[in-house]
Structure 1
Amino acid sequence: MVRIRMHLSFIDRTGSHEFEVPPGVVDTLPEFLDIHGIRSDEIGMAIADGRWKVPRDIVIDEYSVIEVFPHLEGG
């Protein structure tokens, strides 16, 4: 089981802070996020098992925890 943790505005958009994804349900992080209405270009940062990763390269079943952050804005 893979845990996908959403952060900041993604929590409001998906309605949850954390999802548990059984093996084989979806293949890649962009595929999972698309199901929840989040486009790949909206991802500011993704961390898989504590390491920064390029979101499009994340194959969900290869990790135990994936954290997803939107682009940070402010000034």
Structure 2
Amino acid sequence: MADYQIGDKEFAKYKAWLQKEDKAMGTRLKYQRDVRSLQKWLRGRAVNQELLNGWRAALLAEGYAARTVF
């Protein structure tokens, strides 16, 4: 996986894609919250597999169920 930055521009594209895919409103809001949570956790760092694994571990440590943490 190449490093990828999640900025406001990318987030707006993601929101538009979710709408284009005709996702339910609740689903879109949940997915958007998840991406914002990841964005906040990254603190400006580019996304890579190591960081995604770290974010997943942090969510599990916070008590999220494994089946809900991709």
Sort the TM-score into its range (normalised by shorter chain): under 0.3
Could you say which structure has the higher strand fraction? Answer: 1
Q: Which is greater in Rg?
A: 2
TM-score (normalizing by structure 1): 0.23
